[in-house]
Structure 1
Amino acid sequence: TMVHFRGGRAAIDIESYPDMDEFFEDLAQCYRDEIAALYAAGCRYLQLDDTNLAYLCDMRMREAARGRGDDPDELPRTYAALINAALRDRPDDMTIGIHLCRGNYRSTWFAEGGYEPVAEVLFNELNVDAYFLEYDDERSGDFAPLRFVPDNKTVVL
């Protein structure tokens, strides 16, 4: 999804993928294949890292998405659908966590903003068991978005 998020439709070769749904389905299948291989190798806990959902909390990045023709209010659903498709065949005894990050390497960061713009989709449409959320400074916003967390999900701050 990072290729799509950074470049929108223009970043995906139109001859290879005239239909974006096919692109996302092929990408999800790649993840499903890898998850199956990891499970066969003994993996029972898998953590995905996703920066796109956290980046969509940043007003500058939301504007950039609009500028390339994407709707930043719909992208969280698009990316959640991709992640859910990737996890569709996961075994019942495999726990899935997701880490959201705004890009923080040696105090260099790429995005800022609270989780409010993506919270409902993040916590109620994404089929993961646990969330590892960045809440270590003021760039992460307040705790209000956590009101959307259902009782059956784990959140680590």
Structure 2
Amino acid sequence: MADITTQFVPAHAALVDRREIPTVQMQSYFDSVYGHAHEVLKTAQVRPAGPARCYYFSPLGDTVDLAGGFPVRLDTVRLLQDQLADASPFKVVRHGDLRTWRLRHRGSGDGLALAWDVLAAHARKAGNGRGAIAWEEYVSIDPDSDRMTVDLHWAKA
């Protein structure tokens, strides 16, 4: 497993669909949210500012509070907000400057749970429980899932 590093993440915004869902429905949520987010961005003529992300606002249990989507440049926030219908499940959210622990996972999705466990243990050992937010950033999703790269971020409290 890769080393855990400390990273400064500057203030950023993201177009996301935040929901609390049963954990068993996560795969179907992932299967739909990124395509829909891409369509919203395409309609607004806004390009993502980075790879797809899934933000987590609660630990996994029977349910999970999460938000999938894409980071966007801060100068596109107003344009996106103006284009979103009130009924749209997508919202533009802003996150302030953050310091995170980052762990890069390379391999299949089956190894993500173990990677999160390693990152959580590191945070607890450092005397810092889960911060207000954690996220996965899908650096590369290879059709051969054994070559996927995902950066896991855990905000320091």
Output the TM-score relative to the length of structure 1: 0.28
- The structure with more strand, counted as a fraction of residues: 2
- The structure with more helix, counted as a fraction of residues: 1
Higher relative contact order (CA 8 A, sep 6+): 2
